[in-house]
């Protein structure tokens, strides 16, 4: 463990995970907003919006995230000149957030849509039959049931997003996978401890997160 | 319209008019967006013919795209085989009655599902050479990473499938005198595999997308050859990225369509998996964790 007792390396380890945390946080919020909007488009009665939502989902769900992130840097920034911050690393960070959010939004959209689909049609029909308005049907009957069905997939998406954040290292952000690579290259005698510390940190955070969302989804599940 | 049936009634005359008006408004807005992207591309001179011309020349395809595509498919193919084997072994291991098998198998599966794929690829590519005193080819770094990660996800899919096979099946198999290994190999796994086929195939789509990570360790796959190297020669990075994205989308759509076809086909024959319980599967069946 001599590698991590060196304060310089320990700081690098911390800063790597701090980037992952920041990427995950900002992208989760953006992807959630964007994904819910896309889902609203996909279930709307307007064909143009449905087509737009479906196209987005099909494009980004089938393109490798590495390519999306690559495009954000070399396409949007280098070629088209989109600059999101004057600071070099802040700029890469925000480009990464753009890539992660556009990609993850496609999965959020599908989760929300399938959540709405789990609500039996009879629920809405019964709501209308007792005289609830459209807004009341959505607010009181359909959305509360859909929201509970969405918890488990949201958990998976959040976990995947956190792991995917490492890919932003490709375009030059010193996040944890890049830091691990550098530490390995400088400390060939401690390869396994380095890997176990980095992988273990992810596992220690993400495995409980998975169980937590599973527990929450079970607890809030609509019993049918 | 089945998706919106729970949200909307069938539209009446007024709703039809409203929907038509909204269609026009959003259609115009969408065209405006497309035009804005067009002008941005135009300003950056990204629409000039010479940027796209290389894709009409056979040399571009034989020199860059097809070798890259072949490398991608090769890594994906080997990765698929190995992760299916890994998945079956660890699913059976985790269901073992001996705790000294089931606990380590469970720990391995949980661990590799929670670790980013890139971390594993880096460990194999940069770390393993120190341990074995020799280089690790990028191909194997990618394949081993893909196998550990996707194999673990598949192990969970197989386990859910095996547990969902009706109990009478294994009881009947034991009753006619089969041994534990026979019950597993002849009765449970074939039924579980058939019932879980759609999930398995969508995980294979994830695996195929994840081969793009090979670009980071200089494995000459589609992203490395088709976007990086090609644009280094022709200076058309946006055009190249768009063409490669289309290739990825076509391949993955074919795989997804295949999964859908299998799902409809097995709906007639196999039993259906009931709703999943227990901890959240790290990757939704939609294949979230892809890279």
- Chain B residues whose CB is inside 8 A of the A159 CB are 114, 280, 282, 289
Per-residue pLDDT, B193: 86
User: Domain range spanning residue B35?
Assistant: 1-41
Domain assignments of chain A as residue spans, ordered by start? 2-220
Per-residue pLDDT, B3: 46
Higher per-residue pLDDT: B7 or B283: B7
B256 to chain A, any CB pair closer than 8 A? The answer is: yes
State the nearest Cα–Cα gap between A67 and chain B, in angstroms: 7
B70 with B36, same domain: the answer is no
The total of structural domains in chain B comes to: 2
B59 with B115, same domain: the answer is yes
Per residue in B146-193, pLDDT tens?
Answer: 999 999 999 999 999 999 999 999 999 999 999 999 999 999 999 998
Within 10 angstroms of residue B99's Cβ, the number of other Cβ atoms is 9
Band of pLDDT at residue B280, cut at 50, 70 and 90: very low
Handedness of CA A196, A198, A200, A203 (dihedral sign): negative
B36 with B159, same domain: the answer is no
Contact B286 A155 (CB under 8 A): no
B18 with B97, same domain: the answer is no
The Cα B291–Cα A146 span in angstroms is 28
Over residues A78-107, the mean pLDDT reads: 92
Residue B23 lies in a domain: yes
Contact A177 B6 (CB under 8 A): no
Average pLDDT over chain A, rounded to an integer: 92
Per residue in A64-89, pLDDT tens?
Answer: 999 999 999 998 998 888 888 889 89
B216 to chain A, any CB pair closer than 8 A? The answer is: yes
Residue of A nearest to B211 (CA): A64
Over residues A94-122, the mean pLDDT reads: 93
Contact B119 A194 (CB under 8 A): no
B194 with B100, same domain: the answer is yes
B139 with B20, same domain: the answer is no
Over residues A18-34, the mean pLDDT reads: 96
Q: How far is CA A84 from CA A26, B45, B218, in A?
A: 14, 21, 28
B79 with B194, same domain: the answer is yes
Q: Is the pLDDT of residue B282 over 60?
A: no
DSSP notation for A138-203: IIIIIHHHHHHHHHHHHHHHHHHHHHHGGGGGGGT---HHHHHHHHHHH-GGGHHHHHHHHHHHHH
Q: Is the pLDDT of residue B273 over 60?
A: no
Per-residue pLDDT, A126: 92
B8 with B89, same domain: the answer is no
Return the SS3 of A50.
helix
The Cα B114–Cα A4 span in angstroms is 22
Per residue in B80-130, pLDDT tens?
Answer: 999 999 999 999 999 999 999 999 999 999 999 999 999 999 999 999 999
B89 with B168, same domain: the answer is yes
DSSP notation for B37-82: HHHHHHHTT-S-HHHHGGGGSHHHIIIIIHHHHHHHHHHHHHHHHH
Per residue in B216-272, pLDDT tens?
Answer: 998 999 999 988 899 888 888 888 999 999 999 999 999 888 878 877 877 666 565
Which among B18, B107, B118 is the top mutation candidate for probing chain A, defined by the most A β-carbons within 10 Å of its own β-carbon? B118
Contact B280 A63 (CB under 8 A): no
Superfamily of domain A2-220: MetI-like (1.10.3720.10)
Residue B161 lies in a domain: yes
Over residues A92-119, the mean pLDDT reads: 94
Q: How far is CA B22 from CA A41, B4, B17, in A?
A: 12, 17, 9
Domain with B228 in it: what CATH number? 1.10.3720.10
Percent of chain B surpassing pLDDT 90? 58
B142 with B205, same domain: the answer is yes
Interface confidence, given as ipTM, is 0.91
B3 with B93, same domain: the answer is no
Band of pLDDT at residue B291, cut at 50, 70 and 90: very low
Contact A157 B288 (CB under 8 A): yes
Say if CB B28 and CB B210 are below 8 A apart: no
Contact B126 A194 (CB under 8 A): no
Residue B287 lies in a domain: no
B32 with B77, same domain: the answer is no
Say if CB A19 and CB A176 are below 8 A apart: yes
Per residue in A159-181, pLDDT tens?
Answer: 999 999 999 999 989 999 999 99
């Amino acid at each position: 463990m001599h590698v991590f007792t060196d304060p310089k390396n320990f700081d690098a380890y911390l800063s790597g995970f701090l980037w992952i945390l920041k990427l995950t946080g900002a992208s989760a919020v953006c992807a959630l907003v964007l994904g819910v909007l896309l889902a609203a488009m996909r279930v709307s009665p307007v064909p143009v919006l449905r087509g737009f939502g479906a196209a987005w989902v099909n494009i980004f769900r089938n393109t490798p995230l590495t390519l999306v992130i690559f495009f954000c840097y070399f396409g949007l920034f280098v070629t088209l000149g989109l600059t999101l911050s004057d600071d070099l690393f802040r700029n890469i960070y925000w480009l990464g957030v753009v890539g992660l959010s556009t990609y993850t939004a496609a999965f959020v959209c599908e989760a929300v849509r399938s959540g709405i689909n789990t609500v039996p049609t009879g629920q809405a029909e019964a709501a209308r039959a007792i005289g609830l308005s459209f807004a009341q049907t959505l607010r009181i009957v359909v959305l509360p049931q859909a929201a509970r069905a969405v918890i488990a997939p949201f958990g998976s998406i959040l976990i995947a997003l956190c792991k995917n954040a490492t890919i932003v290292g490709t375009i030059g952000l010193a996040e944890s996978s890049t830091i691990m690579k550098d530490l390995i290259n400088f400390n060939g005698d401690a390869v396994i401890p380095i890997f176990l510390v980095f992988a273990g940190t992810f596992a220690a955070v993400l495995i409980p997160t998975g169980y937590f969302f599973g527990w929450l989804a079970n607890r809030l599940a609509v019993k049918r | 319209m089945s998706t919106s049936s729970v949200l909307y009634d069938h539209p009446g005359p007024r709703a039809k008019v409203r929907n038509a008006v909204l269609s026009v408004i959003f259609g115009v807005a969408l065209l405006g967006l497309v035009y804005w992207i067009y002008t941005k591309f135009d300003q950056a001179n990204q629409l000039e013919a010479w940027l796209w011309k290389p894709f009409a020349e056979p040399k571009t395809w034989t020199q860059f795209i097809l070798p890259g595509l072949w490398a991608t498919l090769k890594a994906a193919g080997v990765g698929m085989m190995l992760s299916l084997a890994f998945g079956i072994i660890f699913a059976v291991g985790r269901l073992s009655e001996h705790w000294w098998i089931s606990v380590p198998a469970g720990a391995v599966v949980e661990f590799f599902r929670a670790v980013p794929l890139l971390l594993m690829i880096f460990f194999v590519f940069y770390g393993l050479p120190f341990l074995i005193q020799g280089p690790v080819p990028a191909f194997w770094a990618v394949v081993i990473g893909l196998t550990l990660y996707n194999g673990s996800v598949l192990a969970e899919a197989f386990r859910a499938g095996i547990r969902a096979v009706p109990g009478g099946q294994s009881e009947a198999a034991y009753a006619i005198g089969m041994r534990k290994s026979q019950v597993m190999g002849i009765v449970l796994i074939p039924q579980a595999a058939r019932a879980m086929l759609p999930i398995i195939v969508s995980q294979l789509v994830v695996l195929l997308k994840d081969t793009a990570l090979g670009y980071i360790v200089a494995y000459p796959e589609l992203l490395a050859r088709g976007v990086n190297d090609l644009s280094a020669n022709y200076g058309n990075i946006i055009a190249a990225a768009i063409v490669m994205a289309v290739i990825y989308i076509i391949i993955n759509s074919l795989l997804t369509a295949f999964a859908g076809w299998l799902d409809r086909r097995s709906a007639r024959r196999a039993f259906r998996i009931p709703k999943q319980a227990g901890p959240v599967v790290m990757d939704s069946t939609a294949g979230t964790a892809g890279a």
